[in-house]
Amino acid sequence: MRLERKYKIYRKIKMKTRKNRDKKGYKKGDKKGYKKGVQKGVQKNICPLFWTSLIFATNMFAAFFAGLYFYSLLFACLTITSLVVHTECNIWTNLVDKLAISAIFFYGLFRVCHKGYCKVWLNLGIIITFLFCVWVYLWGYLTNQYVFSKESSEKWHIIMHIIGSVGHHGIILL
C-alpha cells in the first residue's frame, strides 16, 4: 500500500516536469538544437587556462616520440588533471593536479641529474625556466603577486604553463 502511494507521488512529480515538453524532452517553442533545461543564449565560458593546459599535450607527444613512455604518461595525467582543475576546481581536483605536477617535477629532476652533464646551454635554459616557474609560484604565494594576484593571476598562470612546457621540452631533448 505504502509503495503504491510513493509510486503515485513520483509519477505525479514526473508528469509536472514533463509539462510543456515534446516527446524528445525539448521545451515546446524552443529550437530543436536546445537540449533539456538549457536556456537560449546561455553559454558557459571556458577559462583560458583550460586552453593553455592543452600545451602539456605537446610534451606528452614529444616524450612519446622520444621513447620516454613513462614521462609521456605523466604528461597525459597532468594534461587531464589540469583540464579538470581549470573547469571544476575543488580541493580534491587541486590535490590530484598538485600530485601530477610533483611527479613530473621529480621525474624531470631525475632526468636532468642523470642525462644533463653534456649539454651546457640546454641545461642553462632548463634551469632558467625552472627558476622562473618557482619564482612566479612561490614568491607570488608569499607576496600575493603573480599567480596569486587578483588582477593578473590568469595572465601569470598562462605564462607559467608556457614556460614550464618549454622547460620540459628541453628535458625531453636531453
- CA dist 46 → 58, 71, 84, 151 (Å): 21, 28, 12, 18
d(CA 143, CA 3): 61
Annotate 151-164 with DSSP letters as a single string. TTHHHHHHHHHHHH
What is the band of 103 on the pLDDT scale with cuts at 50, 70, 90?
Answer: very high
What is the band of 113 on the pLDDT scale with cuts at 50, 70, 90?
Answer: confident
Question: Is the predicted pLDDT of residue 6 greater than 50, yes or no?
Answer: no
User: pLDDT at position 21, please?
Assistant: 58
Domain coordinates in residue numbering, the chain: 1-35, 48-173
User: pLDDT at position 82, please?
Assistant: 92
Place of cell 620540459: 168
d(CA 63, CA 111): 12
As a residue count, the chain comes to 174
User: pLDDT at position 101, please?
Assistant: 93
pTM of the model: 0.70
Question: Is the predicted pLDDT of residue 126 greater than 60, yes or no?
Answer: yes
Question: Is the predicted pLDDT of residue 110 greater than 70, yes or no?
Answer: yes
Mean pLDDT of 121-139: 90
Of the candidates 123, 134, 128, the one whose C-alpha atom is nearest the C-alpha of residue 160 is 134
The answer to whether 49 touches 94, Cβ cutoff 8 Å, is: no
What is the band of 41 on the pLDDT scale with cuts at 50, 70, 90?
Answer: very low
